[in-house]
């Protein structure tokens, strides 16, 4: 067993110029360094070779899709996938002795990085109301305690069940079934903070919340937009797909306030040209957009397309497609023709010439795909922005055919699958009816709480029990101080987790840590070894089978914990066969196949190489909106605006972190080493604001004329971000995000476009 470092790392910042390319040999060596430090060579090698292979382990990193079975590389993973898997496969262990040594208060002062470095959780622990330490508890007593608290509630709606997108389909299905048979739709999830805006916008306009493209489509597109995403760090194998597309002649347009390395050039570590040569240029055009300017960009572009049609009637728009498949075109066209160019140019920070050049690229392209991620979804106008992207795709019929479509690039490896399984506080009646028919109970119909509303309810004392299944809610959520306060007001907080994180240290009166198997580990139940299934960003559902011996013999799987909890809580109130589900995950999949359209005959079809691709109605020419057609929409906007002396801050990921968990203090592609307490500011703004490189500043967010939120001691790094915009890492900056600052319609927290001021840090003299 490796020993974790006992002290926090010393912070010491060095800055080098940002990289102009991503992946290549350094990526391979960095992945290996991390593997060797975290695990034995053998464990690392064993897991990596089966990763993303047919019948192997699905990478627990992002939701990017695998190539079809015959086209997979022997090393079908990226540097970061290797880091994520080894972070779970670590040989470091947290035992009861660790919790005897460290009080909850002390652990609460530790950094996210340090907590994660301590290793895997190995036995159930409880923190009692009068104690500041976790102590061991048996599974029987832990689940009895949790079930007892749930049964004692005045209403099932006094409990919330949070999930993060690493949870398998089987566990997600069991969780929502438990919550609903218990009587609540309070199922907030990480998706509320991730692609909720995409779901709302796509559902409204196309009648389905999911992306429409496959890897094949990307390979055969003529033009691909990458809007608000950093694939070099967050979806590295997307770069292989883009390289493939470029080989087939595709052009790529990147839209981003930061010139991210992976958007510029890619050196594929899987081929000779990538390892030894210059690699492939990714973006043919880079639009250095202002924060929140994407809605204006697509509106400007749409106006230019309408004008091109005026100039050459019948040659630009897909008239037949628009006539037979869409509704609302005339009104949309009137609206877009009325927008003011000055507003578009101010909002985007681009020139008209730059946008006209994009129009020309579009006019030359038969097949267009738009990819987007958090730079779009975490903005106040995220939903109207994505609707405008849909308008853009509809104008030239870039939906429902090969090589074209909408590609929201999902985050967690199974975040999309969890939604398919019913993890949503507002599942449609069709799903609830199917549950009712299958299991013979009345699922609650009133919408439950999403993440933001759950925090409000906890804060107001309306929630007594919080159960988190994976994830790190207190760090993922906005307004850290408010969220922590909200958690502390619960009677019981419990987490089903693989590793220690801040959420375990911010406790209700009583707190439970329920340690669980990770995806890399063998899962053996009464009927034998089990596999689980997951769904990637391209709606492909496939198996994942763990290979490693569990981190401790005491661990239970997520499915087992949830089934036992359900049985103890509901005690014969339903006829749901929890014991059978626990012993045979195939029995869960059988039930899923009766409920989820497209997953019929689930058990038989999912074990075929490549698994099952869920049908997307749009690709069959069907738009299940209330009018049966795709909708053009009119999207008004207010410009994102920072008052004089302020900047628009985005909170984002470094190359070396998994969401709320930093792996190191480095962000190699951006040239940041040794510290995460940095704020990236355009050099012009550094001068304009009277700041200096390396100066320590406090970040102060300003909201609605009300209370200010502050976080101290960030080093100023001059960086080529768009003027007026700044960037700093999440989750350290979540304290700045006001709970009420949400995307309109989707209620998604705005982790991008926060108005901040930079104030010189006053050094304490004590």
Ligand X SMILES: Nc1nc2c(c(=O)[nH]1)N[C@H]1C(S)=C(S)[C@@H](COP(=O)(O)OP(=O)(O)OC[C@H]3O[C@@H](n4cnc5c(=O)[nH]c(N)nc54)[C@H](O)[C@@H]3O)O[C@H]1N2
Q: Minimum Å distance from CB 164 to Mo ion? A: 9
* Rounded least distance, CB 47 to ligand X, Å: 14
- Tell whether omega for the bond before 731 is within 30 degrees of 0, i.e. cis: yes
* Least distance from ligand X to the Cβ atom of residue 318, Å: 25
Asked whether 652 and 729 are in contact (CB, 8 A), the reply is yes
Cα–Cα nearest to 43, from 2, 3, 96, 4: 2
Nearest residue (CB) to ligand SF4, 81 versus 183: 81
Token pair of 212, please?
Answer: 């429409």
Nearest approach, Cβ of residue 81 and ligand SF4 (Å): 3
CA atoms within 13 A on the CB side of 336: 28
Please give the structure tokens belonging to residue 124.
Answer: 């159930």
Token pair in block for residue 331: 């009104």
In the bound complex, what is the minimum distance in angstroms from residue 569's beta carbon to ligand X? 19
Total site size for Mo ion, rule CB under 5 A: 2
Q: Which does 233 bind (CB under 5 to 8 A by kind): Mo ion, ligand X, ligand SF4, none?
A: ligand X
Question: Closest approach of Cβ 126 to ligand SF4, in Å?
Answer: 34
**Neighbouring C-beta atoms of residue 616, cutoff 10 Å:** 22
The binder of Mo ion chosen from 23, 194, 373, 512 (CB under 5 A): 194
Strands 492-497 and 510-515: parallel
470 binds, among ligand SF4, Mo ion, ligand X, none (CB under 5 to 8 A by kind): ligand X
Closest CA to 181 of 386, 410, 422, 394: 422
> In angstroms, what is the minimal distance from the CB of 17 to Mo ion?
29
Q: Considering CB distances under 5 to 8 angstroms, the limit depending on partner class, which of ligand X, Mo ion, ligand SF4, none binds residue 473?
A: ligand X
Residue 164 interacts, among ligand SF4, Mo ion, ligand X, none and using kind-specific CB cut-offs from 5 to 8 Å, with ligand X
CB nearer to Mo ion: give 328 or 411. Answer: 411
Residue with tokens 């292989």: 240
Tell me which of Mo ion, ligand X, ligand SF4, none is bound by residue 497, counting a contact when its beta carbon lies within the kind-specific cut-off of 5 to 8 angstroms. Answer: ligand X
115 counts as binding Mo ion under rule CB under 5 A: no
Work out whether strand 280-281 and strand 368-372 pair parallel, antiparallel, or are unpaired: unpaired
Residue of 187, 124, 195 whose CA lies nearest to 160: 187
- Contacting residue, 228, 375, 411, 718, with Mo ion by CB under 5 A: 411
Return the DSSP state at 550: P
Q: Toward ligand X, which CB reaches closer, 15 or 374?
A: 374
**Partner from ligand SF4, Mo ion, ligand X, none contacting 256, C-beta within 5 to 8 A by type:** ligand X
CA angle (603 as vertex; 161, 44 as ends), nearest 5? 70
Q: Name the residue nearer to ligand SF4 (CB basis): 30 or 387.
A: 30
292 binds, among ligand SF4, ligand X, Mo ion, none (CB under 5 to 8 A by kind): ligand X
Do the beta carbons of residue 473 and residue 192 sit within 8 Å?
no
Q: Is the Cβ of residue 107 or residue 190 nearer to ligand SF4 in the bound state?
A: 190
Three-class secondary structure of residue 471 per DSSP: coil
Minimum distance from CB of 660 to ligand SF4 (Å)? Answer: 16
Judged by CB, which is closer to ligand SF4: 200, or 658?
658
Nearer to ligand SF4, 471 or 718 (CB): 471
Which residue, among 126, 733, 742, 638, has the nearest Cα to 380 in the 3D structure? 742
Q: Binding segment for Mo ion among 15-23, 297-305, 410-418, 440-448 (CB under 5 A)?
A: 410-418
Shortest separation between residue 541's beta carbon and ligand SF4, angstroms: 15
* Closest to 702 measured CA to CA, from 667, 655, 737, 665: 737
Give strand ranges (E) for 646-746.
647-652, 657-658, 661-662, 672-673, 678-681, 696-702, 708-718, 725-729
The SS3 call for residue 406 is: strand
CB of 185 or CB of 654, closer to ligand X: 654
Distances (CA, A) of 469 to 60, 210, 234, 761, 762: 15, 23, 23, 38, 40
Binding partner at 77 among ligand X, ligand SF4, Mo ion, none, C-beta below 5 to 8 Å by kind: ligand SF4
- Residue 449, both tokens: 């709480």
Q: What angle do CA 432, 435, 440 make, to 5 degrees?
A: 120
* Residue environment code for 183-195, b if the CB has 16+ CB neighbours within 10 A, otherwise e: bbbbbbbbbbbbb
Which one, of 226, 258, 256, lies nearest residue 239 by Cα?
226
Specify the DSSP class assigned to residue 314. Answer: T
262 interface partner picked from ligand SF4, Mo ion, ligand X, none, CB below 5 to 8 A per type: none
Which residues of this protein are in contact with ligand X, per CB under 6 A?
61-62, 80, 164, 166, 190, 193-194, 227-230, 233-235, 255-258, 260, 289, 291-292, 294, 373-375, 378-379, 411-412, 469-473, 476, 496-499, 501, 516, 518-519, 558, 650-653, 657-661, 730, 733-734, 737, 751-752
* Shortest reach from residue 238's CB to ligand SF4, in Å: 7
- Which two three-digit tokens encode residue 659? 């969401």
Quick one: what does residue 614 bind among ligand X, Mo ion, ligand SF4, none, with the CB cut-off 5 to 8 Å set by partner type? none
As measured in angstroms, the least distance from the Cβ of 61 to ligand SF4 is 3
Q: How far is the CB of 165 from ligand SF4 (least distance, A)?
A: 12
Residue 237 touches which of Mo ion, ligand SF4, ligand X, none (CB < 5 to 8 A by kind)?
ligand SF4
Rg of the chain over Cα atoms, rounded to whole angstroms, equals: 25
**How distant is the alpha carbon of residue 218 from its chain centre?**
21
Write down the least CB distance from residue 724 to ligand X, Å.
Answer: 11
Interacting partner of 230 out of ligand SF4, Mo ion, ligand X, none (Cβ under 5 to 8 A depending on kind): ligand X
Partner touching 81 among Mo ion, ligand X, ligand SF4, none, CB below 5 to 8 Å by kind: ligand SF4
CA distance 293 to 349: 8
Specify the residue, 194 or 642, whose C-beta has the smaller distance to Mo ion: 194
Q: Which residues bind ligand SF4 (CB under 6 A)?
A: 59, 61-62, 64, 77-78, 80-81, 84, 235-237
Instruction: List the end-to-end C-alpha distance of the chain, in Å, as a whole number.
Output: 41
Choose the one of Mo ion, ligand X, ligand SF4, none that binds residue 64, judging by a C-beta under 5 to 8 angstroms depending on kind.
ligand SF4
Least distance between ligand X and beta carbon 297 (Å): 8
For Mo ion, give the closer residue by CB, 166 or 246.
166
State the greatest distance between any 2 C-alpha atoms of the chain, in Å, as a whole number: 77
Residue nearest to Mo ion (CB): 411
Give whichever of 56 and 292 is closer to ligand X, judged by the CB atom: 292
**From the list Mo ion, ligand SF4, ligand X, none, partner contacted by residue 59 (C-beta under 5 to 8 A by kind):** ligand SF4
Angle at 446 between CA 441 and CA 450, to 5 degrees: 115
497 beta partners: 515
Query: Token pair of 758, please?
Result: 């930079």
Please state the closest distance from residue 419 (CB atom) to ligand SF4, in A: 18
Which DSSP category does 465 fall into? Answer: E
CB closer to ligand X, 121 vs 333: 121
What is the tally of helices (H) and strands (E) in the chain? 31, 33
Note the residues at the interface with Mo ion (CB under 5 A): 194, 411
């Amino acid at each position: 067993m490796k020993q974790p470092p006992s002290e926090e790392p010393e912070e010491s910042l060095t800055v080098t110029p940002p990289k102009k390319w991503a992946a290549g040999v350094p990526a391979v060596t960095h992945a290996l360094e991390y593997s060797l430090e975290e695990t034995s060579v053998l464990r690392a090698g064993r897991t990596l070779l089966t990763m993303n292979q047919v019948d192997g382990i699905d990478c627990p990193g992002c939701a990017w899709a695998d190539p079809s079975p015959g086209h997979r590389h022997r090393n079908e993973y990226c540097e970061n996938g290797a880091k994520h898997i080894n972070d779970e496969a670590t040989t470091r262990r947290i035992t009861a002795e660790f919790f005897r040594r460290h009080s909850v208060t002390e652990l609460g002062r530790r950094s996210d990085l340090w907590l994660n470095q301590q290793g895997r959780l190995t036995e159930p622990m409880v923190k009692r109301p009068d104690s500041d330490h976790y102590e061991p508890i048996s599974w029987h007593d832990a689940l009895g305690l949790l079930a007892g608290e749930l049964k004692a509630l005045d209403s099932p709606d006094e409990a919330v069940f949070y999930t993060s997108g690493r949870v398998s389909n089987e566990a997600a299905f069991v969780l929502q079934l438990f919550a609903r048979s218990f009587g609540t739709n309070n199922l907030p999830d990480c998706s509320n903070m991730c692609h909720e805006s995409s779901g709302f916008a796509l559902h409204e306009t196309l009648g389905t919340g999911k992306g429409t493209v496959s890897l094949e489509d990307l390979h055969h597109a003529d033009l691909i937009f990458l809007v608000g995403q950093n694939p070099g760090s967050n979806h590295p194998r997307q770069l292989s797909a883009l390289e493939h597309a470029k080989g087939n002649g595709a052009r790529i347009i990147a839209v981003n306030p930061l010139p991210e390395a992976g958007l510029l050039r890619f050196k594929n570590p899987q081929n000779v040209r990538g390892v030894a040569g210059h690699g492939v240029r990714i973006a043919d055009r880079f639009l250095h957009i202002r924060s929140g300017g994407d809605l204006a960009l697509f509106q400007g572009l749409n106006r230019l397309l309408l004008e091109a049609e005026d100039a050459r009637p019948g040659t630009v728009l897909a008239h037949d497609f628009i006539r037979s498949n869409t509704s609302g075109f005339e009104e949309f066209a009137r609206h877009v023709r009325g927008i003011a160019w000055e507003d578009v140019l101010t909002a985007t920070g681009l020139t008209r010439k730059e946008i006209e050049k994009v129009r020309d690229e579009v006019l030359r392209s038969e097949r267009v795909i738009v990819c987007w991620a958090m730079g779009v979804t975490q903005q106040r106008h995220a939903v109207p922005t994505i609707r405008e992207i849909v308008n853009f795709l509809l104008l030239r019929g870039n939906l429902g055919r090969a090589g074209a479509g909408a590609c929201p690039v999902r985050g967690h490896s199974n975040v999309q699958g969890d939604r398919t399984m019913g993890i949503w506080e507002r599942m449609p009646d069709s799903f609830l009816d199917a549950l009712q028919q299958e299991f013979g109970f009345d699922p609650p119909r009133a919408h439950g709480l999403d993440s933001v509303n759950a925090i409000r309810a906890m804060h107001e004392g309306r929630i007594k029990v919080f159960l988190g299944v994976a994830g790190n809610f207190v760090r993922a959520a906005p307004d850290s101080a408010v969220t922590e306060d909200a958690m502390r007001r619960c009677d019981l907080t419990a987490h089903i987790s693989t590793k220690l994180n801040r959420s375990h240290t911010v406790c209700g009166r009583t707190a439970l840590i329920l340690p669980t198997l990770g995806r890399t580990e063998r899962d053996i139940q009464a009927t034998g070894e089990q596999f689980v299934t997951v769904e990637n960003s391209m709606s492909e559902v496939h198996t994942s089978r763990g290979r490693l011996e569990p981190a401790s013999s005491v661990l239970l799987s997520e499915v087992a914990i949830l089934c036992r909890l359900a049985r103890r809580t509901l005690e014969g109130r339903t006829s749901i066969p929890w014991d059978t589900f626990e012993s045979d995950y195939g029995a869960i999949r059988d039930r899923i196949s009766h409920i989820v359209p497209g997953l019929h005959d689930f058990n038989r079809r999912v074990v075929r190489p490549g698994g099952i691709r869920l049908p997307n109605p749009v690709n069959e020419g069907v738009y299940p909106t209330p009018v049966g057609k795709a909708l053009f929409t009119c999207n008004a906007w207010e410009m994102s605006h920072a008052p004089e002396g302020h900047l628009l801050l985005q909170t984002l990921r470094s190359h070396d972190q998994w969401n709320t968990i930093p792996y190191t203090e480095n962000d190699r592609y951006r040239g940041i080493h040794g510290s995460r307490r940095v704020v990236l500011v355009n050099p012009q703004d550094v001068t304009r604001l009277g700041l200096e490189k390396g100066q320590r500043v406090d970040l102060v967010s300003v909201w609605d004329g009300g209370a200010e939120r502050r976080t101290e001691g960030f080093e100023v790094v001059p960086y080529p971000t768009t003027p007026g915009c700044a960037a700093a890492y999440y989750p350290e900056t979540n304290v700045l995000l006001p709970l009420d600052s949400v995307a309109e319609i989707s209620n998604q927290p705005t982790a991008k476009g926060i108005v901040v001021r930079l104030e010189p840090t006053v050094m304490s003299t004590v």
